[in-house]
């Protein structure tokens, strides 16, 4: 199956105007090649076709990538890499999990062709690769991603009302899919505005629970009222209790109760809550009898719950009881292109609502990618709404209307807060932050950091040896 193919580049440029709307099931592509020109053109082209692309230029880099990412729908693998043969990667990977694996080589040989076929390689192509062939591969990857989507509805870019196409979000959707049908208590943790409540709603939506979804913000209820709000009270049980009142647990009977900001609950209430979680029996304030409740509890918080335990504001036993199944909602800045996807959806909803056809200016598109969105999706939503109202000639100028929070965040973005770290620790933080921002794309992160990909990669290998806490 040796094949001679023509140049890819003309095709890449020609195809750059097309933008596939495959957001519903972005195919994932892993490109492994030490030819950086090929790598960046192929990456840009595949991205324009709606793919989520990871790149690597050595076996070691590719191994790190496959360890951290889901198996790709398409893998293009160069045979001769600086630190070994691309086929070495296949020895370390369960090729059955991958979609199509295509080996590229500049120097075809019978030995490598035979080894490639033994290792479940789907095609063996002599460089340079023809653009039309690359298109065919991307189309097949797209079909594969779509069938994945059909076989697992939550593997898509939407889960309940949550949108997200990045790998990190689709992994989170998978967690929601797994836990939803069970009765497990779930601990949802993440920055403000990242979507914790939507996660809780999605878990309820994908469960079989027919009761209501009820949410309480424990931080917003005065400490002396939280007991009666959660568990209810009988008439006359305290001044002002003029009638019987069913608390949130009873209101959520057969459904789901979200305890938002649960770390803000007074300690005495945490003790009672722990008991309720064990027995599912509640007693209204002033009542003599217990009620058994069938309620799935989801706890959410902005602060790190383990730190809340260390700070003495959260009971350790309650933490362990709630942390049955933790879900971390990633900040928007670590979701790759999701900010664009979300901004586009928010704008489309406004256009549909008002019968307009406004679009983002090029500067707004740039702003969406560059800005760190410290207020996460909520901040993005508000920024789009505000800029929509201010639009002139149908152009949304997102950068032109920063609010004070945006300005504050912009000012602080360049400042690394120094709290006694060594230079090496600061460097590690910067590299990790850049990787998080680019959805773990090392080439992109290296560009942002102004260093070579090799430097990023060597550092990562060192950090891996040092361990997570070094």
Binding residues (CB under 6 A) for ligand ATP: these are 161-164, 190, 192-198, 260, 302, 342, 377-378, 381
Closer CB to ligand ATP, 86 or 190, in the complex: 190
Closer CB to ligand ATP, 298 or 456, in the complex: 298
User: What is the dihedral angle through the alpha carbons of 182, 160, 292, 269, rounded to the nearest 10 degrees?
Assistant: 100
Closer CB to ligand ATP, 27 or 193, in the complex: 193
Min dist. Cβ of residue 161 to ligand ATP (A): 6
Beta-carbon contacts of 270 under 8 Å, excluding residues fewer than 6 positions away, are 314, 315, 318
Closer CB to ligand ATP, 65 or 156, in the complex: 156
State the CB neighbour count (10 A cutoff) for residue 149: 17
Closer CB to ligand ATP, 99 or 193, in the complex: 193
Closer CB to ligand ATP, 112 or 263, in the complex: 263
d(CA 191, CA 391): 30
Question: Left, alpha or beta for 27 (phi > 0: left; psi -120 to 50: alpha)?
Answer: beta
**Which residues, listed in sequence order, are joined to residue 124 by a DSSP beta bridge?**
103
Torsion sign across C-alpha atoms 291, 293, 299, 305? positive
Token pair in block for residue 76? 């293009």
Min dist. Cβ of residue 258 to ligand ATP (A): 9
Residue of minimal Cβ distance to ligand ATP: 195
Closer CB to ligand ATP, 36 or 385, in the complex: 385
Closer CB to ligand ATP, 213 or 457, in the complex: 213
Min dist. Cβ of residue 23 to ligand ATP (A): 12
DSSP assignment of 224-248, as one string? TTHHHHHH-B-TTSSTT--S-B--H
Min dist. Cβ of residue 374 to ligand ATP (A): 12
Nearest to 350 by CA among 393, 392, 397, 382: 382
Beta-carbon contacts of 220 under 8 Å, excluding residues fewer than 6 positions away, are 261
CB 277, CB 296: distance < 8 Å: no
Closer CB to ligand ATP, 215 or 274, in the complex: 215
Min dist. Cβ of residue 369 to ligand ATP (A): 17
The two beta strands, 213-217 and 256-260, are parallel
Rg (CA), the chain: 26
d(CA 28, CA 55): 11
Q: Is 293 exposed, middle or buried (0-12, 13-18, 19+ CB in 10 A)?
A: buried
CB 270, CB 314: distance < 8 Å: yes
CB 174, CB 348: distance < 8 Å: no
Strand positions, DSSP E, 109-220: 123-126, 158-159, 162-163, 186-190, 213-217
Number of H-type helices and E-type strands within the chain: 20, 18
CB 202, CB 169: distance < 8 Å: no
Closer CB to ligand ATP, 56 or 343, in the complex: 343
Closer CB to ligand ATP, 278 or 352, in the complex: 352
State the CB neighbour count (10 A cutoff) for residue 115: 16
């Amino acid at each position: 199956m040796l094949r001679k193919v023509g140049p890819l580049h003309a095709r890449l440029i020609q195809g750059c105007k097309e933008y596939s709307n495959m957001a519903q099931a972005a195919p994932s592509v892993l490109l492994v090649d030490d030819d950086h020109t090929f790598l960046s053109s192929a990456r840009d082209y595949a991205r324009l076709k709606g793919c989520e692309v990871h790149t690597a230029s050595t076996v070691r880099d590719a191994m790190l990538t496959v360890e951290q990412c889901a198996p790709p729908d398409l893998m293009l693998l160069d045979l001769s890499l600086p630190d070994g043969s691309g086929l070495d990667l296949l020895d370390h990977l369960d090729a059955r999990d991958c979609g199509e694996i295509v080996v590229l080589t500049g120097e075809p040989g019978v030995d490598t062709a035979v080894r490639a076929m033994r290792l479940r390689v789907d095609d063996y192509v002599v460089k340079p690769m023809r653009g039309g062939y690359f298109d065919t591969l991307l189309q097949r990857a797209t079909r594969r991603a779509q069938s994945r989507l059909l076989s697992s509805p939550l593997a898509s870019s939407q889960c309940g009302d949550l949108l997200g196409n990045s790998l990190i979000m689709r992994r989170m959707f998978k967690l929601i899919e797994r836990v939803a049908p069970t009765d497990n208590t779930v601990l949802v943790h993440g920055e403000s505005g990242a979507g914790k409540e939507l996660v809780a709603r999605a878990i309820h939506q994908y469960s079989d629970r027919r009761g209501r979804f009820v949410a309480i913000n424990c931080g917003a209820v005065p400490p002396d009222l939280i007991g009666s709000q959660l568990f209810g009270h009988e008439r006359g049980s305290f001044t002002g209790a003029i009638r019987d009142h069913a608390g949130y647990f009873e209101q959520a009977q057969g459904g789901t109760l979200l305890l938002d900001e649960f770390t803000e609950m007074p300690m005495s209430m945490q003790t009672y809550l722990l008991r309720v979680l064990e027995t599912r029996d509640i007693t209204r304030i002033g009542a003599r009898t217990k009620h058994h409740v069938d309620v799935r509890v989801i706890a959410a918080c902005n602060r790190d719950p383990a730190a809340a335990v260390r700070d003495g504001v959260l009971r350790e036993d309650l933490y362990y009881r709630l942390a049955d199944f933790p879900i971390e909602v990633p900040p928007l800045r670590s979701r790759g292109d999701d900010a664009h996807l979300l901004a586009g959806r928010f704008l489309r909803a406004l256009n549909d609502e008002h019968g307009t056809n406004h679009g983002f200016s090029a500067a707004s598109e740039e702003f969406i990618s560059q800005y760190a969105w410290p207020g996460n999706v909520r901040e993005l939503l508000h920024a789009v709404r505000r800029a929509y109202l201010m639009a002139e000639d149908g152009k949304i100028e997102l950068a032109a209307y920063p609010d004070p929070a945006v300005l504050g965040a912009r000012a602080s973005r360049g400042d690394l807060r120094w709290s006694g770290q060594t230079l090496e620790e600061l460097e590690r933080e910067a590299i990790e932050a850049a990787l998080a921002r680019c959805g773990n794309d090392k080439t992109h992160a290296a560009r942002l950091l102004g260093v070579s990909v090799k430097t990023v990669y060597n550092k990562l290998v060192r950090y891996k040896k040092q361990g997570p806490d070094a």
